[in-house]
Amino acid sequence: MTTTSSPGLATRAVHAGRDDFTDRGVHALPIDLSTTYPLADVEAGGAAYDHLSGGRPPETGDSYVYARLWNPTVAHFEAGIAALEGGSDAIAFASGMAATTALLMSRVAAGKPHVVAIRPLYGGTDHLLATGLLGTEVTYAREGEVASAITERTGLVFLESPGNPTLDLIDIAAVTRAAGGAPVVVDNTFATPVLQRPLEHGARVVLHSATKFLGGHGDAMGGVLVTDSETAATVRPIRAITGSILHPMGAYLLHRGLATLPIRVERQQRTAVAVAAALAEHPAIRRVMHPSRPGGDPLALVGRQMSGPGSILAFEMRDGYEAALAVAKRVHLITHAVSLGGVDTLIQHPAGLTHRPVASEAKPGPGILRLSVGLEDASDIIDDLVHAIE
């Protein structure tokens, strides 16, 4: 993508990862489904294998050897999301949890197994850290406790903002300063690069469950890390040896999703603000959690760190667990399902589903429901919720 000035986000979303399309004579991203690739000879094949398995991109004329090491369709998606986040490199995986796993393994391998984690986090991430399954050690800390939690063995400071599921906002720049050089990784799934770019605030790594907003249609699963080339080179060999590379069909769908990401996020966000305001007026609801609501952005990060409040919200039923279950069961237009960020509105009960394995002290309240607002008319979403509540 070549322009006379720095292109805007919407332009990058449409054109990033398409630089070579004209030279290749294509207009849509080709899907390379090859599992293996021809070799010029044994020595050239061996050299290419060493190059790719060591975490380096292929050189001109090299064979890709084997799809577990590299795939050109995946590489185009990686280029696209790196351009949107402002990173120099990206590594795409079969899921968000595969991306998280590879990143944690890279720090353990570097002799830095300690992770400082700021809750709330996605339930799968929280559970993986708590189990120590990968050889990690975790200290859960509040934002103001990060500096005192850092040790010489700290390999990552892990945070998510907005937080899942209660939409807590964390000052990324402040955490980066407190980390004192320890790499900060930000799960940016909820915000997307449309609303927030953590690398601009000092983070070393940005994580996405690409299954969510990046794909946007609930039909492609993937995960991606965006970072600098040096950090990427420590993670790519782990992806290669564990076989966790994103499937090329998923890469095609995720790359296609990037083109409409800005207009989807902006429209969903406007609707979410309207839905949050309507729910806040309902007597059956104790509180609505969304950065647009009073008290939802205590550090005034919207407008400074984020360009908008996003399209995910949570609300707590005044009558607790049974009332929350009843609402999830009664919705008609809205789909009762986990996941988020798609074109249709989804509702789910975090404590019973996505955050089920989280320790009791960090588990969301039993009356809380999480809503991922889609592209439907705001009035129809509100009517469905009011009907389910009443």
Catalytic residue IDs: 68, 122, 187, 212
Q: Are 251 and 71 in contact (CB under 8 A)?
A: yes
Q: Which long-range contacts (CB under 8 A, 24 or more apart) does 287-294 make?
A: 287/315, 287/316, 288/313, 288/314, 288/315, 289/166, 289/167, 289/313, 289/314, 289/315, 289/316, 289/368, 290/167, 290/314, 291/162, 291/167, 291/169
What's the token pair of residue 121?
């986090």
Angle (deg, nearest 10), helices 378-389 and 248-280: 70
Burial of 38 (0-12, 13-18, 19+ CB in 10 A): exposed
Residue 99: which residues within 8 A CB-CB, separation 6 or more? Answer: 91, 92, 93, 207, 208, 223, 224, 225, 244
Q: Are 81 and 208 in contact (CB under 8 A)?
A: yes
Q: Are 191 and 310 in contact (CB under 8 A)?
A: yes
Question: What 3-state DSSP class applies to 94?
Answer: coil
Residues of the chain by 3-state class (helix, strand, coil), percent to 5: 40, 15, 45
Any bridge partners for residue 26, and if so which? none
Residue 22: which residues within 8 A CB-CB, separation 6 or more? Answer: none
Residue 43: which residues within 8 A CB-CB, separation 6 or more? Answer: none
End-to-end CA separation in angstroms for the chain: 52
* 227 sits in which H/E element: strand 223-227
Question: What 3-state DSSP class applies to 205?
Answer: strand
Strands 312-317, 285-289: pairing kind: antiparallel
Question: CA angle at residue 386 from 381 to 390, to 5 degrees?
Answer: 155
